[in-house]
Amino acid sequence: MLKKNKGFFILTCIVIMLPCFVGLILWDKLPDQMITSFGSGGTANGYSSKFFAVVGMYVFILAIHTLCAIVTGLDPKGKNISSKIYHLILCICPLVSIWCGIMIYGNAIGYPMLKADIWANSLMGIILVIIGNYLPKCRQNYTIGIKLPWTLEDEATWDYTHRMAGKWWMIGGIIVILLGFQKVIDPIMAGVGIVLVVTLIPSIASYIYYKTHTKVL
């Protein structure tokens, strides 16, 4: 699968490393210690060396990206993973990389684009919406999707679960984005809670469907 999508994989690798190249251009303008972690309210709660913030972080993201590309291609049911779904997987790390670059460099040179909460929730929400849109199109496999014993055992249960999950994830993604713009509760923790809810509901419903469906059969 990786060989078939080699061109797209190379393109996503270049996108992942773009913030690194930008950082090297801005090297002399960047402080020796840079904010790489943000807490509630967008306050800094973690610093890293300039080298890690500019080079190490993106090499790490690139390594994860490459691992995901290889592991997905080794799936025994890889023929069920369409090129669109595979491309979706390959787009996640580039999104994270660009987000990190904007947040870290923006704060380092004194031009924070938006609060960390808004950026974090927007990224989380966008990923949820995109994945939610593709989940109903995802066929049974061992790498992508809601992989539970009963969804992997029964194809009808798999299809039912992913149709339902697609709707919940898209709704959840929109809610997560909106949570980033409020100050009543911690938006990031609330966002994580939404992710858990939109994952648990289809999982529980799928088990009920599986038991009912197999009993009828």
Look at the chain and report how many structural domains it folds into. Answer: 2
Q: Quick one: 164 and 70 in the same domain?
A: no
Q: Which has more confidence, 40 or 22?
A: 22
Q: Max alpha carbon distance in the chain (Å)?
A: 69
Work out the average pLDDT over 91-118. Answer: 83
Domain match, 172 and 152 both = yes
Torsion-angle region of 112 (φ positive above 0: left; ψ -120 to 50: alpha; else: beta): beta
Query: What pLDDT does residue 169 have?
Result: 96
pLDDT of 217 > 60? The answer is: no
32, 47 contact by CB (below 8 A): no
| Residue span of the structural domain in which 57 resides | 1-113
Q: Is 113 helix (H, G, I), strand (E, B) or coil?
A: coil
Q: Give me the amino acid identity at 26.
A: L
- Same domain? For 98 and 135 the reply is no
- Distance CA(188)–CA(192), nearest Å, equals 6
In this predicted structure, the answer to whether residue 19 has a pLDDT above a threshold of 80 is: yes
What CA–CA distance (Å, rounded) separates 160 from 164?
Answer: 6
4 and 85 fall within a common domain = yes
What pLDDT, in 10s, does the model give residues 160-184? 999 999 999 999 999 999 998 888 8
In this prediction, residues 174-198 reach a mean pLDDT of 90
Mean pLDDT, the chain, rounded, equals: 89
The answer to whether residues 140 and 80 belong to one domain is no
Q: Is the pLDDT of residue 216 over 60?
A: no
Considering the domain architecture, whether residues 7 and 105 belong to the same structural domain is answered as yes
Q: Supply the pTM of this predicted model.
A: 0.81
Q: Tens of pLDDT along 142-156? A: 888 899 999 999 999
Which of the listed residues 113, 138, 162 is the one where a domain comes to its end?
113
Residue 108 sits in the same domain as residue 125 = no
Same domain, 109 and 119: no
Q: How far is CA 189 from CA 10, 34, 168, in A?
A: 34, 24, 18
Together in a domain, 145 and 216: yes
Per-residue pLDDT tens digits for 126-138: 999 999 999 998 8
Gap between the Cα atoms of 17 and 39, Å rounded: 25
**Is the separation of the CB atoms in 42 and 66 below 8 Å?**
no
Asked if 55 and 23 count as a contact pair (C-beta separation under 8 A), the reply is yes
For residues 197-207, give the mean pLDDT: 94
Residues 94 and 128 in one domain: no
